[in-house]
Amino acid sequence: MTESTNIDYEFHWLPRYLPGISRRARYLLRSCLYAQSIAAGEPCFSVRELATRYQDPDLAGLLASRQDDSPSVVDLESCLRRLGSIIGPFPQNPHGSLEATLVNEWGKPSDVLSMAYMALGLSGGSDYEEVEKILL
């Protein structure tokens, strides 16, 4: 999952990009859990049902696409921990920063650029409108 590369954020940038990075982490975790449910032969696209299946009541609130509260570092770290348990350790960003990713990936046909925009909070309203395709 190359999209996870840009999750490796620098903490000094976190206050500036927390909303976008949190949104992106939730999107990736939600997508991974959807994919796991499909792979298990029991497709599920409800965050409430996923929370029930995983016996994790906090999961529904964490994965909700519309968040009631401002993003928090605690929620981001929870999301990243859960995501890491599914896909393994996050690779280092070969570009060094999200800004450098935008410059170096500009014009290349991949979702990395769209995901960097999403992490920086520069994308539109929907997680899915920026990404060319979702492969579950």
How far CA 107 is from CA of 46, 53, 67, 104, in Å, comes to 35, 41, 32, 9
Which of left, alpha, beta for 43 (phi over 0: left; psi -120 to 50: alpha)? beta
pLDDT for 49 equals 95
- Whether residue 104 lies inside any domain: the answer is yes
* Residue 61 maps to a domain: yes
In a domain, 54, yes or no: yes
Q: pLDDT for 38-72, tens place per residue?
A: 999 999 999 999 999 999 999 999 998 777 788 88
pLDDT greater than 70 at residue 134: no
Domain region containing 110: 2-130
The pLDDT tens digits of the residues spanning 65-100 come to 777 788 888 999 999 999 999 999 988 888 887 788
Mean pLDDT of the chain, nearest integer: 79
Q: Does 53 fall in a domain?
A: yes
Does 136 fall in a domain? no
3-state helix, strand, coil in the chain (%, to 5): 60, 0, 40
**Could you tell me if residue 101 is inside a domain?**
yes
Residue-level pLDDT at 11: 55
- How many independent structural domains does the chain possess? 1
- Residue 135 within any structural domain of the chain: no
Q: Count Cβ atoms below 10 Å from residue 39 Cβ, excluding itself.
A: 10
Per-residue pLDDT band at 135 (split at 50, 70, 90)? low
Give the pLDDT score at 129: 45
